[in-house]
Amino acid sequence: MQLILASNSPRRRELLSEWKIPFLAVPSRFEEKGEGLSAEETVSAFAEGKAREVFSRYPGAFVLGADTVVAFEGEILGKPADAEDAKSMLRRLSGKTHTVYSGVCLIGKDFFRKGIARTDVTFYNLPVEMIEEYVAGGKPLDKAGAYGIQDGYPIVRSYQGSYTNVVGLPEELVRAFLKEGNIC
């Protein structure tokens, strides 16, 4: 049975490839609208919406949908609108702890699993010069919370939970669902 990743995320594609799981990437056309939802509700609804949309086009496959957000002080920090927004997010997160949530949904014929992974992440105090350099390099502009734990910058002091969740696809949860579906 074919596995389809309902995403165009380079990080999710890279992670699945590293795990030696064969898949096809098909971007979802699901429209992400989540006004008034909590971070957990948002990632759960978006992961399911992405998976269902792609499954409607590939009903003979297993479809994996995922969504990741950064939650800080009751607010969801998505992808920054521009460089100034990225700098602002990084300044807000500097020296503090925030939470990364990823929703995962796996759908197949007569199969449905959905779950959420949570990782608490604490940043170092980030010097203004480092924020400027990091944002100027462009890496934070397509990531929730304006950073990537895997980007090679000394941003994250510590984390409690799944590293791959912070990257964008929680390996432990995904592997458990794939095993239940007899995919790997």
89 residue type, one letter? M
The per-residue pLDDT for range 71-107, each reduced to its tens digit, is 999 999 988 999 999 999 999 999 999 999 999 999 9
Q: What residue ranges do the domains of the chain occupy? A: 3-180
The per-residue pLDDT for range 12-32, each reduced to its tens digit, is 999 999 988 899 999 999 988
DSSP state, 36? T
pLDDT computed for residue 78 by the predictor: 86
Q: Find the catalytic residue in 67, 82, 85, 110.
A: 67
148 residue type, one letter? G
Cα dihedral 23, 115, 148, 31 sign: positive
Q: Which residue has the tokens 């791959």?
A: 164
Q: Which residue has the tokens 């500097």?
A: 94
Please check the confidence at residue 184 and state whether its pLDDT lies above 80: no
pLDDT computed for residue 178 by the predictor: 94
Q: What is the mean pLDDT of the chain?
A: 94
The answer to whether 77 and 69 have CB atoms below 8 angstroms apart is yes
The per-residue pLDDT for range 146-172, each reduced to its tens digit, is 999 999 899 999 999 999 999 999 999
pLDDT computed for residue 61 by the predictor: 96
pLDDT computed for residue 116 by the predictor: 98
- 3-180 CATH fold: Maf protein (3.90.950)
The answer to whether 3 and 23 have CB atoms below 8 angstroms apart is yes
The per-residue pLDDT for range 27-59, each reduced to its tens digit, is 999 988 877 899 999 999 999 999 999 999 999
Mean per-residue pLDDT for 56-66?
Answer: 97
80-89 long-range contacts, Cβ below 8 Å, gap at least 24? Answer: 80/140, 80/141, 80/146, 82/141, 83/135, 83/136, 83/141, 85/146, 86/135, 86/140, 86/141, 86/146, 87/131, 87/132, 87/135, 87/146, 89/140, 89/145, 89/146, 89/147
Please calculate the CA angle 126-132-133 and round it to the nearest 5 degrees.
95
Q: How far apart are CA 25 and CA 22, in angstroms?
A: 10
Q: Does 67 qualify as catalytic in the annotation? A: yes
Mean per-residue pLDDT for 102-115?
Answer: 97
The answer to whether 102 and 170 have CB atoms below 8 angstroms apart is yes
Residues ≥6 apart with Cβ < 8 Å to 87: 131, 132, 135, 146
